[in-house]
Every structure is written in structure tokens, then in C-alpha cells.
Structure 1
Amino acid sequence: MLQFKNITLRRGTKLVLDDTSFTLQPGEKASLVGRNGAGKSSLFALLTDRLHPDAGDIEMPPRWRIAEVAQNMPETETGATEFVLEGDAPLMAARTALAQAEASGDGHAIGEAHARLAEAGAFDARSRAQALLLGLGFRVSQLDLPVNSFSGGWRMRLQLARALMCPGDLLLLDEPTNHLDLDALVWLEAWLLRFEGTMLVISHDREFLDTVTRVTLHLDEARVTRYGGNYTTFESMRAERMLQQQAAYSRQQEKVAQLQRFIDRFKAKATKAKQAQSRVKALARMEKLAPVLTAADFEFSFREPLSLPNPMLVMDAVEVGYGETAIVRGVTKSVLPGQRIGILGANGQGKSTLVKTLAGALPRLSGRVQEGKGLAIGYFAQQEMDVLRPEEGPLAHMIRLAREVSPQAREQELRDFLGRFRFVGDMVNQEVGSLSGGEKARLVLAMLVWQRPNLLLLDEPTNHLDLTTREALSMALNEYEGTVMLVSHDRALLREVCDEFWLVTGGQVEPFDGDLDDYQKWLLEQSREIARRAREEDRAAQEQARAASQPAAAVPAAPSSRDERKAQAAARMKLAELTRPLKKRQQQAEQALEKAQAEHAALLEAMARPDLSPAERADQGRRLKELADRIETLEMEWLEIGEQIEAMEAA
């Protein structure tokens, strides 16, 4: 097990952990939650020996391997698949041992190295690495591209795949969902549910935490408190505990006041002096309870739009993309007042490109966009620095914005306005380039509110927001009277805000008839189809390589006599007879596979219900893992039977 025993940690003058203790049992999946800056990443650094405690001990089995997602951006020309393979430490060690043994000509060492390779799963390592990449949204054509050819977000996906390649005994994940779209997020959840080791994850995605964790560690006021249950369970348990604490504090304050009144009243009377003195001692011995102090809630609201054009805008045969490359074509749609549109689709399909074009940040390639009279667009860019200037402070941004939108605004008014978004004191002049991701996001939100838009175009607005700010954004959007078009992988935000969805896929934008649960089922079906095609392509490539390595067989001459034709017909009948049992087994495996996949999808839908108890959710999680294992077994059985049939037909 993993144990923190009376750990104290300081970073400079800041007390990060104060005599805190907690335990994680083997196989437990826990989330580490707390406000930004509470010290969650510092706790991870303690586990990986990048930091050392000032007091206390951390105990874990000495043979445990720790896997985490590296936060640096890799700069290498290594191919994507090979880069992921390098994350498998036992496999790399076995490869090195084989190379050394072959170089020395030591036959015994060569044999041992091959045994180590087999133990490390070398025979299917490449296909496992590519399955991880495909699951995280990479295309087949990208599997062997050099790492340095990918953008920053995709390189972080490569780092995640590299960590999952050899997850070890303790898996540490720090904001793993930040660079994932919904299809990759659904795949990652399924993968983590099958993971059998211990896991500790930091995330601000409520639904992700509810799905993959069963323990919550809350870091607050330099102490870690353990709660049994996922994030939703933690919230209700913590609220109840806080009420109990406040009630206990109130009762104690009443008792203190009562004792103090007795002491003040009778300490000067000789007849009561002894009793008064005993009350003084009782008061001194009393363990003082602290009042319940919580971080101030963050909230804001969008101002009422000055007008609501109808329609907001009309797109007629619009084509969007970069340069001469079209990504989405033929978009013919209207956007009406009050609509709440969620834009779904995998990374690279064109969601952000469409939003950027509507915001005017990209020129459209063709088609027409007619804007309603009085349209005022507020645009939240996925990369906040697209709309911010790194060398200027928040106040300078607001002054420039006020000149464009509201010339009568005074500096003090702008300072007060920024204070509502937690920019106080000298922070209003701090260079934006030095702000944290969450602070930059709050500044963009402040600028949106000031602009008083009637159409909000939001591209991944929650990437750097903590849970409190995400909830504030959700509440503000629900009260907003204008129109919202939202691209996000935060399912809680999409569920709470959007009442219709557009799907961007295959270069088209179509209405998606269903809710987010239906979309997740659709994604699972798509990922299975992609994986099936990848296996078929891999098998075809292997067959082609085998054929190329063998001498070309002579082309059989056409049958020249009746006897030869009879012989060939008899051979075909014999082949059909030999393969019939195999084909029957393959059909049975396919039927069982379809049944297991349907049950897996139904169980995923059932697990999304908020009224499940922790015990029910745990049982369903175990059943989900059993089904995933069975699906994998049936897929392998189906493929192996197919290969046997192909081999017999080739022979």
C-alpha cells in the first residue's frame, strides 16, 4: 500500500502539507482535488522524488514502478509508435540486453534476452502501442510520423500514450484530459477502468472523475482528507461534514460564552471563587474548534445583450479551412436567438476552424455568412494568447477594450470590474505572459462580459479552469439571454448548457439527433470500426511482406482436361469441409462479440446515472472490466480463426 505518515512540506515560506497522513490500498483509483495552488502537483513531486518532505515518511512497496505523464514537450525525430514503445521500460531493457548479447556472441545470454523479450510482451508491443495511439485520436497515417512534426497538444497525447504503454504499479495522471477531445476521453476512461494498478489523478473534469475514481483525496488548508467515493459522493459528504463542523463550533462557542459569563460574574465573590476558578481551568483545557472557513465562491454573470437579432447569422454553402485547404464544406445553417448549440466531433475534423471563421479570426474560403443587424460576437479562443497580449497586464487589456466598447469607463471602474474576476492589487499590472492558464482564462472571460455580446463562440473555455470556476461559467451561461455555440470536452458543461448538438465529421456539419450518451455510444462504435480496419491493414501488410520474402510461385496453368477439373473441384469441396467447423466457430465468436459489445455499451449508459450508490457503481465497474476483457478475448479468437482459415485456403 501507499502511505503518507505525518508529512510536512514547505515550498519557500509557504506551508504546502502540514503533518498530513493518508493511505491508498493496492488497486485503488483515487482523485486528488483542491483549489488551484493548494499543492496537488507538489504532492505528485513527493511521490516521484523530485521533492522531499521536511518531516514524516512516505511508504510504498520497494518494487512498485511509478508511471506518470511527462509535462515537457518532446523534441525528437523518433517516430510516434517507437516513441510510445520507449515508455515500456522492461521492453527497452530486454532489447538492450539482446543487442549486447548479440554483440558479444554469447548464445546463453541471447537465449535469456529472448526470454526477457517474450516476458515483456515484445511480440505484440508494436500493436499495443498503436492501439493506444489510435485510441487517443491519432490516424493510421500518423503512426510513424516524427514526434517533432506534431503540435504541442498532440505531443502531450504522445506523452500520455507513452505513460500508458507501461503503467506500472502506481499511475500518476496530472490533468490528462486537457488535450483530449470527447472520443479520446471516452476511450481513456474505458482504458483506465481496465487498469489493475493503483492510480492517483488530478483533474477538473467532474464526469471523468466520477467514472474512473472510487476514492477522493481532498487537499485543503495543507491537510489531506480521504473520502470513500467518487467526486459527486465527495461533494455531498464534505457538505455534510462541514455542516457538522459548523454546528459543533457553534455549540462550543455557546459553552465558552456561558463559562466566560460565569467567570466574569463570580470571580470577585469569595463564596463563588472556587467554582469560578474551576471554570477558568475548564476553559483553558477545552480544545478549541476552528470555524469552518471555505474559499470564497467565484461567480459572475453576463450582462443582458443590447439586442437579439433574428436570425443571428445565416451560413450559405460556407467552406472553411486554411489557405487553399478546405476542412469543412457546404455549411448551410441558421443560428437563432437563444439557441444553445454544442459542437461535437473528433480533433482535426474542423470544430475550432468553424468557430474561428464565424468569429472572424479566419477568412472563409467560399460561401456567404449574413450577420443579423446588431450582432455582437464574443469569442473565447482555445489558445487564450490568440486574443491576449503577453507583454501587457489585465488593466491595459481592459483600458484598450473600454476605448472600443465603452469610452466613458474610468480606470477605477475597470479595476473594480477586474476585482470581480480575482485580479486585485498589483495583479492588474502583471504581464499576461506570466499568468497561469487559469488566470488567463479568467481574463478572457472578463473581457467577454465587458463586451456585452449577444452571440458567444466558446472554444474549449474550461481547459485551465478549476471546478469552482467551471461551475460559475455554467451558471452564467444558463442565465445568459443570448446565443451560445460551445466546443468543449467537458461533458458536465455540455449537459448543463446545450440543448442541441451539431456534429462535425467527414468534412460536413450535420445535426446530431441524440444526447451526449448517444454520442458516446456512436464514438465507441466508430473507434471499434477504426481498430478493425487498422487490424485488417496490418494483417494485409504482413501477408504482403511474407509474400515478398518468398520466391514467386509459378502461375498454375488452366486445367487442360476433364480429370484435372474434377480434381480441382474435389479439392475445393475438401477445403470447404475442412474450414466449415472453423467458420462456424468464427460465426459463434462474432455473435458473442456483438452481444458483449452491446452489454458493454448498455452498462456504460447505466453508469452515467447520478443516483447510483457507490456499491452499485463499484459492481458495475467490475462488470465493465470483465466485459472489456471478454471483448478483447473474443476479438483475438475471431482474428486467430480467420488467420487459420486464410492459411488453409492459401495452402
Structure 2
Amino acid sequence: MSILSINQLTLRIAGRTLLDHASLQLDPGRKIGLIGRNGAGKSTLLAAIAGDISPDGGDITLAARTRLGRVRQHLPEGKGALIDIVLASDTERETLMAQVAVEDDPIRLADAHERLLAIQAHAAPARAATILAGLGFDAAAQQRPIDAFSGGWQMRVALACALFLDPDLLLLDEPSNHLDIEATMWLEGWLKSFRGAAIIVSHDRELLDHVVDGIAHLEQRKLSLTPGGYAQFVRIRMEQTLQHNREVARVEAQKAQMQAFVDRFRAKATKARQAQSRLKALERLPAMEAIIEPGATSFTFPDPGVLPPPLLTMTGASTGYEGRTVLRDLSFRLDATDRIALLGQNGQGKSTFIKLIAGVLAPFDGTFFRAPKLRVGYYAQHQSDDLIAEETAVQHLLRTAPKMTQEQARAQLARFGLDAHRAETEVRNLSGGERARLLLSLTTHDAPHVLLLDEPTNHLDIDAREALVRALNGFEGAVILISHDTWLVEAVTDLYWLVESGHVTYFDGTLDDYRARRQTASGAGQGGNAAQILGHQDRKEGRKDRAATRQQQAPLRKRLQEIEKSLSQCSKKADAYRQTMSDPVFYEKSTSAEITRVNKSAAENEAAIARLEEEWLSLSEKIEQNIL
């Protein structure tokens, strides 16, 4: 029997239909990932399952006595310790504990003790502490009040409460958004061992591939379920699309053949009956439309230009806050070809290190060289809180870069998929993904030579994350990345730097090595079977290959930029020619020779545009083939 049954469900928000007669069945113990583009209605569907909103049609049925777990959006305020908040989230346990303390009736008291034993209430404090520790709260932090933590950390507590319930059905909406790579690894392991059913809204490809056994895709107001993780979903979807489009082509060819027969022989008496028969058969053929995928999301970073190496060096430096040293003995060099991921547990200083590079923090001591004219772009999660709700995306960009024109600001926003409508939309009405795109636009408006990215994929859907990977792999500058998205880390970076115990050191290994290092007391790279060693070598070679590919493609990208400048110039000329040749005065006052010359120049300019566009497409295809 299904633990969850969704039948012919219709959901509408503000007059917009998000689901239209959608259905889905979920069996006990099964975990599925719920995916779809930003705004498709994934979070709304979770809210309907939880009972927060009522369906506009159809029904949602949970199995009897189903224990539901969901991340709460509002946590209790006050001075209560974190661990007490997590324990209090199990209301059944709290009620039973209170009953035991005051119950006089021996039968009811025995029943309460029996139920406490059944739900393993005695182990609850240890289980709550383990969950909090996995999400980054040490023993001391677990005793601190909730209001001592920022919003992101409070969301971790909300997640801990949902996991602590050990429910029959767990609903998670982007559970890794406020986690670092350490906590994401822990959450992945916890979900793998979780015995209940789960619906997980996530854009984290690795999480979906490693945890779920099915993908529910919300598209065109319907739900479709495919087995396996995200990679399998992509393969199945491609095969289904190809098969469907081949069938469309077959039916359309059959229709054309029948229509030709009808048109040719309808008027001939000897063929009239056959023509009528074919006409009826033609009417019975199904009306089919090809599946056309939505336009691919595309991001592009401005060309930073070339600076002589090194971009930045530091020797024997330390830094921290208000005289308190967080990082010490920092010695490193940063070049334009470097793609670095920062690894390390939360609180070790990864964000502190990025702030030092960004110039937000100054070194306490040591030597520090920064290339003249070096521009640094710094993207941080908290910057979203600094956006002004009443301002539009264009207004934000013009305030940040006052020398920009309106046209330049719109073009910069368009680099990250914010079209003319969204550019004029107030921030309060932008989705989380659209705000992230705005922050990327603000971060890169002056074409930085170094990109410092602290969890850039939060709120970006899968398509946008893939667009970010393509853009970063095509970026000509240096990248330093902090991310819980292991797919992004492995696809973009070539070097791992470990931030630990107040130091930043090179980590010679893969993310699998790092995961193993975190799980054991031994150092990374020790032991392991042959397959693990080969995997380690393959990933290292993969990172080297990506670095080599970027270097090989540098001349192609340079030529691409030259073509784009030439196209811009030719387009301006074409506009001028069209304006001239559409003006009657031009023909009245010009000689035939002048008119011929202008027409010839316009034709030559159009031919040049065609040649440049063809070369641009050819180069783009060559780069795109090896971009990932």
C-alpha cells in the first residue's frame, strides 16, 4: 500500500495553475527527488502534501498514522538550547514525558512507558546530539540559544528537527542550501540509511544520484516518475524525446503522403472512392507535436583581459577579526590559470580566507603583493540580504556601477539570464534563483580577474548550475570556490586547498579521498583498494585535462571576442545603411553612382556579417564540445 497517493491533483496560486490533474504514488521506504525549473511549483506541492494549502482539485491521501517530517520555516525564539529545541520537535515524546511526570493511574502510566520504550525515547538526547553534530554544531554550540545564530544556521536547526523525528515520510526542500560540503556529505549518508520514505526537492545532482531511487519531474503542470537518480533521468528523458520526435516525423510523413494522394486524385472518378478513404484515414491519424526542450540557460562572464603573473602572492601572513587570529602562516601564489576549491569543516576559516583575498580583511603581518589594476569579484551568500527590496535589478547595477549606461546594465544582466522584464522587476518580486543571478551580475560588472565564490549555487536550478559550470570553465581568470555542490567542485576546480587548524595547505587527493579522510582518523591517501587508487588517479588526470583544455582554447576564445566586436561594428553599419536607404531624400539628392556605391557597401557589410556569424558558430561549437 502507498504511503502517499496523489490523484488528479490541481493546484493554483494567484490565479496561475501549477499542477493540472497530476498524479503520483509513493511506496513506504522509497525516496524520490522532485525536480523542475524555478517557479514550477515544487515547494507548493510539498506544502499541499503537508496540509498547509488545500488542493483546487483532486486529492492527496496519506496512509493511516503516517508520521510526517518537514523543515519548519519558523523556529521558536528565546534562550532555549539548540538540543532542547530539537528534542521538543518530537511532540509525542514531549507529551508522554510530561504525562509520566504527573500520571497517577498505573494503567495509563504503564501505557505511556510502553510507548516511550517503543519510540526509543531514552536514546533521543544522544540521537539529537548526533544529528546536530553532523550538521556542524559542536557540543558547546548545541547548548547555545537559537537566537545566537544567523538565519542560515537556524535553518540547519530546522533541518535537524525534521531529521530527528525519524518520520515515515520526510519532505525536504533544498536541504543542502545552507550546508557546507562537510554537512552535505553527512546528510547524504544519513539519507542513505534513512528507513522511511522521502520526497526531496533538490538541484544538487550528486545528492540526487546518490540518495534517491526515482525522479519525479514537474513539467507542464504534470508529474512524471522515472527510476534511478538524476543521471538516469537525463538518459531516459533523452531517449523518450528522441523516440517521440521520430514518431512525430513518421506520422507527419504519412499525413503528407495521404494528403498528396487526396489532392491528386480527389477529382478523378476512378480514384474518388480511394481518395475519400484516404481522407478519412488522414482524419484518424493522431495530432502530435514534437517535444521542444526549453532554451538552454546560458551564463557568460565578461573578459577580464590579461595581467602579468602572479596576480597575488602572500608570505608568512595572518589574519582574523578584531585582533583575534583565525589564519596564520599564509604563504601562497595565485595565477590566472588557478581553479581552487577550499575544503575544510565549518568554522575553520574558509570564508575568512576569501575575505582576505577580496580585501574585506587586511593581513595582520607578513608580505602581501597584489598586481596593479587587479580586479576581484566577491560573491557571498549573505549579500542577498543586502539587496534593496524596492529597487529593480537595473537600479542595483547602476548604483553599483554609476558609469554604466542603461544599455550596458541591461546587457550585463542578460549575461545571467535576466531578460528585459526581470531587469525592471523589483527585488521583492524576484525568485531566489533570479536574485542569485542578480548577485552574479553585480559581482562581475567590472570584469574581475579573480572570482571568489562562496556557495554560488544556492537557489539556482539544475539548468542554471550547468550554465554556471560552462561559464566558469570558459572564464579567463582565476577562481576560488567554496561550495557544498560536489559536482560543481569536481567539474570546475583543478586544485584543492585545505583550511584546517588555522592553516591553508594544498590537499593532494580527490573529494572521495577527502570524504574518507573525514570519516577516519588516518590521513588522506593512505590505504585503499586498487579501484579507489585508480579513481583517484583518474580524477587527478581529469583536472589536469580540463586545465590543459582551457589553455588550448585560449586562442579560440580570443578570436571569438574579436568576432563579437566586429559583429557589433558591422551591425551598427547595417543599421546606418538601412536608415540611409529607407530615406527618400537620399535618392533625391544622390547621384546614381553614389546610390550604387551605398548599395554595394551595404551588401558587402551583410556578407561580412554572414561570414562572421558562421565563424562564430563554428568556434562556439568547438569550444562547447570540450567545455565540460
Same fold (TM over 0.5): yes
Task: Say if 1:432 and 1:440, in contact at 8 Å, map to a contact too.
Answer: yes
Task: Say if 1:33 and 1:218, in contact at 8 Å, map to a contact too.
Answer: yes
Q: Match of 1:52?
A: 54
Task: Say if 1:381 and 1:387, in contact at 8 Å, map to a contact too.
Answer: no
Deviation, structure 1 residue 471: 0.8
Q: Match of 1:93?
A: 95
Moved more, 73-82 or 120-129: 73-82
Deviation, structure 1 residue 599: 9.3
Q: Does structure 1 residue 331 correspond to structure 2 residue 330?
A: yes
Q: Match of 1:287?
A: 286
> Alignment partner for residue 422 of structure 2, among 427, 436, 439?
427
Q: Match of 1:348?
A: 347
Q: Aligned in 2, Cα 1:43/1:389: closer, same or farther, shift over 3 Å?
A: closer
Alignment of 1:270-309 (within 5 A): 270-309=269-308
Q: Does structure 1 residue 313 correspond to structure 2 residue 315?
A: no
Task: Say if 1:91 and 1:121, in contact at 8 Å, map to a contact too.
Answer: no
Q: Match of 1:360?
A: 359
- Return the letter of the residue paired with 2:63: P
Q: Aligned in 2, Cα 1:122/1:132: closer, same or farther, shift over 3 Å?
A: same
- Return the letter of the residue paired with 1:88: D
> Alignment partner for residue 66 of structure 1, among 68, 81, 86?
68
Q: Match of 1:232?
A: 231
Render the CA deviation track for 1:376-399: whole Å, top value 9, x for unaligned. 111112223367444422112333
Deviation, structure 1 residue 401: 4.6
Task: Say if 2:251 and 2:285, in contact at 8 Å, map to a contact too.
Answer: no
Structure 2 Cα separation of the partners of residues 303 and 506 of structure 1? 36
Deviation, structure 1 residue 155: 0.9
Task: Say if 2:82 and 2:143, in contact at 8 Å, map to a contact too.
Answer: yes
- Return the letter of the residue paired with 2:451: L
Report the 3-state secondary structure (helix = DSSP H, G, I; strand = E; otherwise coil) of the residue aligned with 1:333: strand
Report the 3-state secondary structure (helix = DSSP H, G, I; strand = E; otherwise coil) of the residue aligned with 1:361: coil
Report the 3-state secondary structure (helix = DSSP H, G, I; strand = E; otherwise coil) of the residue aligned with 2:9: strand
Moved more, 601-610 or 273-282: 601-610
Alignment of 1:370-385 (within 5 A): 370-385=369-384
Deviation, structure 1 residue 302: 2.3
> Alignment partner for residue 464 of structure 1, among 459, 479, 488?
459
Deviation, structure 1 residue 432: 2.4
- How many residues are aligned here? 535
Render the CA deviation track for 1:591-648: whole Å, top value 9, x for unaligned. xxxxxxx9999999989999xxxxxxxxxxxxxxxxxxxxxxxxxxxxxxxxxxxxxx
Task: Say if 2:77 and 2:147, in contact at 8 Å, map to a contact too.
Answer: yes
Deviation, structure 1 residue 133: 0.8
Report the 3-state secondary structure (helix = DSSP H, G, I; strand = E; otherwise coil) of the residue aligned with 2:418: coil
> Alignment partner for residue 485 of structure 1, among 480, 503, 506?
480
RMSD value over aligned CA atoms? 2.8
Structure 2 Cα separation of the partners of residues 176 and 33 of structure 1? 13
Structure 1 Cα separation of the partners of residues 337 and 200 of structure 2? 37
- Return the letter of the residue paired with 1:488: S
Deviation, structure 1 residue 276: 3.1
Structure 2 Cα separation of the partners of residues 183 and 454 of structure 1? 29
Unaligned runs of 5+ in 2: 540-628
Render the CA deviation track for 1:515-540: whole Å, top value 9, x for unaligned. 111111112226x99xxxxxxxxxxx
Structure 1 Cα separation of the partners of residues 7 and 110 of structure 2? 45
Task: Say if 1:94 and 1:120, in contact at 8 Å, map to a contact too.
Answer: no
Q: Does structure 1 residue 519 correspond to structure 2 residue 514?
A: yes
Task: Say if 1:67 and 1:172, in contact at 8 Å, map to a contact too.
Answer: yes
Render the CA deviation track for 1:281-329: whole Å, top value 9, x for unaligned. 3233222122212221111222332222311111233322222332222
Q: Match of 1:178?
A: 177
Q: Match of 1:588?
A: none
Task: Say if 1:97 and 1:113, in contact at 8 Å, map to a contact too.
Answer: yes
After TM superposition, the score normalised by the length of structure 1 is 0.77
Q: Aligned in 2, Cα 1:320/1:431: closer, same or farther, shift over 3 Å?
A: farther
Alignment of 1:470-509 (within 5 A): 470-509=465-504
Task: Say if 1:460 and 1:488, in contact at 8 Å, map to a contact too.
Answer: yes
Report the 3-state secondary structure (helix = DSSP H, G, I; strand = E; otherwise coil) of the residue aligned with 2:445: helix
Report the 3-state secondary structure (helix = DSSP H, G, I; strand = E; otherwise coil) of the residue aligned with 1:501: strand
Report the 3-state secondary structure (helix = DSSP H, G, I; strand = E; otherwise coil) of the residue aligned with 2:520: helix
Q: Match of 2:7?
A: 5
Structure 2 Cα separation of the partners of residues 125 and 27 of structure 1? 22
Deviation, structure 1 residue 228: 0.8
- Return the letter of the residue paired with 2:355: K
After TM superposition, the score normalised by the length of structure 2 is 0.80
Alignment of 1:152-171 (within 5 A): 152-171=151-170
Structure 2 Cα separation of the partners of residues 189 and 600 of structure 1? 23
Q: Aligned in 2, Cα 1:400/1:146: closer, same or farther, shift over 3 Å?
A: closer
- Return the letter of the residue paired with 2:320: G
Task: Say if 2:71 and 2:158, in contact at 8 Å, map to a contact too.
Answer: yes
Identity value in percent? 41
Q: Aligned in 2, Cα 1:325/1:83: closer, same or farther, shift over 3 Å?
A: same
Render the CA deviation track for 1:181-240: whole Å, top value 9, x for unaligned. 111111111111111111110111111111111111111111111111111111111111
Moved more, 216-225 or 281-290: 281-290
